[in-house]
Structure 1
Amino acid sequence: MNLNLYGHDGQWLMVDCGVTFDEPLTPPYIEPNAGSRHHVVAPDPAFIVEQRDKLAGLIITHGHEDHVGAVAALWPRLRCPVYATPFTAEILQRKLGQAGLAGKVPVQVVQPDSTLTVGPFKLSWLAITHSIPEPQALLLTTSAGTVLHTADWKIDAQPISGKPFDAGLYRQLGETNLLALVGDSTNAVKPGFSISERICAEGLNTVIKQSTGRVVVSCFGSNIARLISLAKIAQKTGRYLALLGRSLENMLGVARKTGYWPDDLEVIEKAHIGYLPPEEVLVVATGSQGEPRAALNRMAIDASPYFELEAGDTVIFSSIVIPGNEKAVERLLEKLHKKGVQVVLSEHSDVPIHASGHPCVEELKLMYQWTKPQIAIPVHGEPEHLEAHATVAREMGVKRTYVGRNGDLYLLAPQPGIRRSRVKTGRIALDQS
């Protein structure tokens, strides 16, 4: 989950405000047996709440839960303007409506590739590729220097949704004396390049075409490109596509409203699934991480009101197992195997059926080669990912790399450095369960 604060000239700018799920209040990498887990966990904003009169605004870089999921819960304590691109703003407005905040939060819709001044910060939204529409990197320019906040990204020359990655945009930054790059470390321990969504779509088509019986695909609900790919595969293979899970249905609604869902791709009502011959059914379901309340687990225990999984059906995991979810996924797989269902996991598939939205080592190298920052600050990862990212930056000639923990204060100018544990941070449960 992400919550970043940039300070300059007596004011702060917040970038992203997200949640994590099924986590304890002490990060597992600090304390492996950290006590009871909570369904929804957010960063504790106490530090900035105490000086919210100095908070110039909140920028949301894209619509994933770990970047936007805590806004509705924390905004009443922040009371600042919020800035987001149209797709992300639509996701946010729906969350605000559910929280009883419709019309109460000043959300400014910013077009992709815009430039805007917020407090002492000149902000430029830069197009980048990720696994959701309208991902944006953020360029923060101040009198002290310019910082590139990459947010989540990858290099995808063939995205299903949105424009291909534009390397020229980032090469230009290499000629501007960029002060610092604050960047995504999620896949910094993985060599090579991430694969394109289009390659993933080809792999899914291969597996689904060979399958008999019903096919259920579980993937991350926010990946509109993956949903578009599956809708096209349904057309090609003579199947009807249906969605099971509130987050999937909500994301489809957002994509339709903002123009990202092709008009010619049909999604049928889920109530119709049970009346169709098995070989004509393609279902996308939530629950790839073994969540007990999600659609896939309900199918595995015959608790879905729409149809029952049977021997001969196929369940495809178009996802990875997020660290910490291994046991829950194992329990889910055991239930599916007992039913005689064929299971295809992304890590065991002969063809690619999942594409990460984050940069691997060679992509990180290219980003540093293009942008040439004076300072590298790895974020968005656990300690091993941050250290691996810093190693890549040093290999690419970055003279200063700062690896810290939550609560560390990074000084970028005029004298770069890092002050440990200067800000009190923590986690709070949003559901109290």
Structure 2
Amino acid sequence: MAYLKPKDKSLYFLPLGGSGEIGMNLNLYGHKGKWLMVDCGMMFGGEYTPGVDLIFPDPAFIEDEKKHISGLVLTHGHEDHIGAVPYLWGRFRCPVYATAFTAELVKDKLNEVGLLDEVELIIVEPSQAYDIGPFGVTYVPLAHSIAEGHGIVIRTESGTIFHTGDWKLDANPIIGPACPADTLTQLGQEGVLALVGDSTNVFNPESSGSEADVQKNLIEVAKEQKNRVVITTFASNVARLETIGAVAKATGRSLALMGRSMHRVYNAGKATGYFKDFPPLVDEEHISDIPRDRILIACTGCQGEPRAAIARIARDEHKNVHLSPDDTVIFSSKIIPGNELVLGSLFNNLSSKKINVITEKDAFIHVSGHPGQADLKQMYEWVKPQTAIPVHGEARHLIRHAKFAREMGVKHTCVPKNGDIFEITVDGIHLVDEVPVGRLALDGKYISSVDDNAIVERRRAAVSGFITVSLILDDDGVLLAEPAVAMLGIPKGYDPVFQDTIIDAVETAIERLNARGLKSNRDIEETCRITIRRFCRTEIGKNPGVATLITYERDMDLE
């Protein structure tokens, strides 16, 4: 970006992830020749990326600008805000700022990939001002569904930005302070050029509700259960873990935690001063030693993740826990859009075994960590920004948030998409440029584009199957043996007549190719691909992936 110069006092905003999607939050602020990065998150792979665990925003733009990055500021410890740090940090190598609990989670991730000693990780204190290049940064504590959620006040010579991060209003939070109304009111009185804010829950007209009310209701629900009780929730929800501890104590049950991420968050909380009044934990191996009416299990998998604890328990694949009729599983979580089918299957699997299933639709056992319209209204009344920039949401969320901000009297709004560069001024917000953006995939241990051929071919194979054809040729390209084929996931793929017909089609195609003169391996491979896919489209209505293996007589060991 050529016009980002040291003496230029213009203020720019550039999202590389998290605008037009929920997840992969990565936002940049440009001022006086420097960039400030806020969050570096990920999202999970889906059907479009088979075999891929994690998806990251492509940081190619800021990688090219890495010598101009003042720092990376992390708002809180959710994966969609910190999950890409261990995988992408090496591309921009800047100092990382976080509060103690978030830093503990990041340390664990960095240690796993061998970067703990390389990253300059600076632990910050809330409400204390830090100079990070030309940016004055102050963390403002806000309630969320994880410990130490913060909004970020970014002061520059051209004005003040309030980047909310993920937040909600909670007058009675289980952990952390209540929303600092006085601080936000004072911020509004000082003048806020723009609020860059969470849009996830904008369609909810009400306030998101209090964790204290969830705790009260979970205790009552658990008291009604006569046998074993399992509560599954988001592992990162420290307040909910505190609530589960309170449920165990109120119902006289021993408590066990299951799932690697559940233990990771618990350990990070213990290391930073949380869970001080938590009951002692039962080792997973000893759960079966405790009477069914005297055990409470907290575990991962509330979104139906197939490898998580509750899914393995439901399939009777867990080595330590097996549920019995009239046991109860409580899903203390939101059913995230897109997960309805997999969760419905999990609910049915449990119910078919006469296990009680209780979800947010049956009882008040979950509150969102994101602001409803009542919360947003209050925030806008406190902060009084001149401009509202909705982020952290799909297009429909951003459009509704922008409309809502205008209804609240905000003069200027926009609906950003990843890659848009906006200049923020006292006169409003202006789109001034656009940079290329994309998505990266963690495919095993390798990071590639989501459009990498390996993923495209895997996706094709998942839908239409895959055929491999092996050819043995002489130096003139003449077949020396009948082609051999191997098929995976192909209808009629084990039918000898079907296989013979494909082989005949390939032989004919190679003979025609030779009639026009000896061709390259690429020509032979393309001929086989077109021939096989055309045949399969006609015969079985499928368009499979095709691989061609070519061996020449001169390369064969005939001894």
Could you tell me the TM-score, scaled by structure 2's length?
0.74
Q: Which residues of structure 2 form unaligned runs of 5+?
A: 1-23, 445-454, 456-559
Choose from 268, 271, 292 the match for 1:257: 271
Judge conservation of contact 1:231–1:267 (CA < 8 Å) in 2: no
Query: Which consecutive aligned stretches of 4+ in structure 1 deviate over 6 angstroms post-superposition?
Result: none
Matches within 5 A, 1:344-423: 344-349=358-363, 352-413=364-425, 416-419=428-431, 422-423=434-435
Choose from 106, 122, 130 the match for 2:144: 130
Q: Which amino acid aligns with 1:12?
A: W
The 3 A distance-change label for structure 1 pair 421 and 323 is farther
1:417 shift after superposition: 3.2
Identify the residue that residue 303 of structure 1 maps to in structure 2: 317
Identify the residue that residue 224 of structure 1 maps to in structure 2: 238
1:363 shift after superposition: 0.6
Judge conservation of contact 1:219–1:285 (CA < 8 Å) in 2: yes
Q: Secondary structure at the match of 1:38?
A: coil
Q: Which amino acid aligns with 2:332?
A: S
Judge conservation of contact 1:23–1:41 (CA < 8 Å) in 2: no
Judge conservation of contact 1:378–1:389 (CA < 8 Å) in 2: yes
1:431 shift after superposition: 3.1
Q: Which residues of structure 1 form unaligned runs of 5+?
A: 25-33
Judge conservation of contact 1:112–1:134 (CA < 8 Å) in 2: no
1:347 shift after superposition: 2.1
1:263 shift after superposition: 4.3
Q: Distance in 2 between matches of 1:94 and 1:322?
A: 27
Identify the residue that residue 22 of structure 1 maps to in structure 2: 45
Q: Distance in 2 between matches of 1:15 and 1:334?
A: 41
Judge conservation of contact 1:409–1:420 (CA < 8 Å) in 2: yes
* RMSD of Structure 2 on Structure 1 (CA): 1.4
Q: Secondary structure at the match of 1:89?
A: helix
Q: Which amino acid aligns with 1:126?
A: V
Q: Distance in 2 between matches of 1:177 and 1:258?
A: 34
Identify the residue that residue 251 of structure 2 maps to in structure 1: 237
Is residue 9 of structure 1 aligned with residue 32 of structure 2? yes
Identify the residue that residue 105 of structure 1 maps to in structure 2: 119
Is residue 67 of structure 1 aligned with residue 81 of structure 2? yes
1:264 shift after superposition: 4.9
Q: Distance in 2 between matches of 1:37 and 1:410?
A: 36
Is residue 96 of structure 1 aligned with residue 119 of structure 2? no
Q: Distance in 2 between matches of 1:247 and 1:292?
A: 15
Identify the residue that residue 329 of structure 1 maps to in structure 2: 343
Judge conservation of contact 1:404–1:420 (CA < 8 Å) in 2: no
Q: Secondary structure at the match of 1:430?
A: strand
Judge conservation of contact 1:410–1:416 (CA < 8 Å) in 2: no
1:420 shift after superposition: 7.5
The 3 A distance-change label for structure 1 pair 375 and 115 is same
Could you tell me the TM-score, scaled by structure 1's length?
0.95
1:197 shift after superposition: 0.4
Judge conservation of contact 2:255–2:279 (CA < 8 Å) in 1: no
Judge conservation of contact 1:408–1:418 (CA < 8 Å) in 2: no
Choose from 126, 130, 134 the match for 1:120: 134
Residue deviations 1:320-360 (CA, integer Å, cap 9, x gap): 121222221122112111211110011232xx100111100
Is residue 45 of structure 1 aligned with residue 59 of structure 2? yes
Q: Distance in 1 between matches of 2:374 and 2:432?
A: 30
Q: Distance in 2 between matches of 1:412 and 1:421?
A: 13
Larger radius of gyration: 2
Q: Secondary structure at the match of 1:165?
A: coil
Judge conservation of contact 1:411–1:418 (CA < 8 Å) in 2: yes
Q: Which amino acid aligns with 1:3?
A: L
Identify the residue that residue 170 of structure 1 maps to in structure 2: 184
Q: Distance in 2 between matches of 1:248 and 1:264?
A: 14
The 3 A distance-change label for structure 1 pair 243 and 144 is same
Is residue 143 of structure 1 aligned with residue 146 of structure 2? no
Identify the residue that residue 202 of structure 1 maps to in structure 2: 216
1:83 shift after superposition: 0.5
Choose from 141, 148, 168 the match for 1:154: 168
Q: Which amino acid aligns with 2:29?
A: Y
Q: Secondary structure at the match of 1:174?
A: helix
Judge conservation of contact 2:325–2:354 (CA < 8 Å) in 1: yes
Q: Distance in 2 between matches of 1:255 and 1:80?
A: 26
